[in-house]
Amino acid sequence: MSLFGRRNDRYRSQVKLFITILMLVMVMTLATISFAVFFKPDGTTSLSNIISSEDKATDNSYTTSETPITEDTNSDSTQTTVTVPTKVPTAASAAVAAKRKASSENSNPSTSDASYEQALASLPAGLLEKVKIAIDPGHGGMDPGSLHGNLLEKDLNLAVALQLGNMLEDMGINVIYTRKTDIFPSLKKRAQIVEDSGADFFLCIHHNATDDGPVWEGTETHYQIGGSPAGVMDDKKFGRYIQEEVVNALGFTDLGLVHSPNMVVLKMTSMPAVIAELGYITSDRDRAVLTAPGYAKKAAIALKKGIIRAIAAKFVHS
């Protein structure tokens, strides 16, 4: 064998060794990835689940802005289908905690605001008979709103609204409903009913949902107009009373007041108006409260207290 041939043989064996080492490295890498994908400690066994859970964790940052999470924006058709993942991303938990902390700082009414009992006692005889409150139970008919199994938002909204309306009427207040049965008036129609009624306050009742998983929970109140001078009632001041009473009565996490300039029912009405998102249908914790016996009555009492405090603030203390 020539010198060249021996060199060629040595070259071949070096290439073989290199290829063998390369293959070994590739096999080990593949084995490591497979282990991570198929034997994740929380029981997740597909790569797509892992990717989506990471996406969920980062996507949650959008809710820390003033972008509303709710389904009602500019559209008249507000059907939401919710899928409920079984995993709880830890980064999302941190985001909820941060939002909770930040929002609770802006939702506390000033200490000069009267409590419900003080507000009620301050009302002159005959005032409530002159007050008109408009109530909008969100969704209805073909639009279930948020849902979880056979728990439909439209039914919860209506149950709370009817209880609230009865309580207010028992106190002598005039109540206007956008719906009292399982029908779907358009958002424009609802706003028109309320605007035509000349109501003093307008309360939309909703329940929240997200497809980001069961970690999202709590109460938030959406308003359009805030920052009016002292003594002038606006959406945000009205919203503070509603938010505080609901959080106190039902123990939901306080997600605070959310500025939502694009909600049709808020844009098209002129009186102080808010959308109360009472709790998350997709949250295990909130759902336990929402499905407990007497929930609608409890929620209605909280909303009634918020409304009476707002009435006193507008007509008596201003």
Binding stretches for Zn ion (CB under 5 A): 138, 145, 206
Considering the complex, what minimum distance in angstroms separates the CB of residue 157 from Zn ion? 7
Considering the complex, what minimum distance in angstroms separates the CB of residue 189 from Zn ion? 16
Considering the complex, what minimum distance in angstroms separates the CB of residue 138 from Zn ion? 4
Decide whether 103 or 146 has the Cβ nearer to Zn ion: 146
Sole residue written with tokens 């605007």: 195
Considering the complex, what minimum distance in angstroms separates the CB of residue 216 from Zn ion? 14
Decide whether 275 or 302 has the Cβ nearer to Zn ion: 275
Decide whether 275 or 311 has the Cβ nearer to Zn ion: 275
Decide whether 206 or 309 has the Cβ nearer to Zn ion: 206
Decide whether 138 or 140 has the Cβ nearer to Zn ion: 138
* 3-state secondary structure at position 43: coil
> What single-letter DSSP state applies at residue 229?
P
CB distance 135 to 177 below 8 Å: yes
Q: Is 145 left (phi over 0), alpha (psi -120 to 50) or beta?
A: left
Rg (CA), the chain: 28
Could you give the strand order of the β-sheet that contains 132-137, starting from the edge strand earlier in sequence?
174-177, 132-137, 201-208, 273-280, 219-223, 254-259
Q: Which residue is nearest to Zn ion (CB)?
A: 206
Decide whether 68 or 138 has the Cβ nearer to Zn ion: 138
Helical H runs in the chain? 3-38, 47-59, 90-107, 116-122, 153-170, 187-197, 235-250, 264-267, 284-290, 295-315
Considering the complex, what minimum distance in angstroms separates the CB of residue 72 from Zn ion? 6
Considering the complex, what minimum distance in angstroms separates the CB of residue 222 from Zn ion? 11
Considering the complex, what minimum distance in angstroms separates the CB of residue 108 from Zn ion? 25
The one-letter code for the residue type at 116 is Y
Decide whether 29 or 291 has the Cβ nearer to Zn ion: 291
Question: What are the b/e assignments for 285-296, b being 16+ CB within 10 Å?
Answer: bbbebbeeeebb
> How far apart (Å, rounded) are the C-alpha atoms in residues 138 and 156?
9
Considering the complex, what minimum distance in angstroms separates the CB of residue 184 from Zn ion? 12
Decide whether 155 or 254 has the Cβ nearer to Zn ion: 155
Sole residue written with tokens 């063998």: 20
**237's tokens:** 């001041």
What's the length of the chain?
318
Residue by residue, DSSP assigns 72-86 as -SS-S---------S
CA 70, distance to chain mean position in Å, is 6
Decide whether 138 or 306 has the Cβ nearer to Zn ion: 138
Considering the complex, what minimum distance in angstroms separates the CB of residue 207 from Zn ion? 6
* 3-state secondary structure at position 208: strand
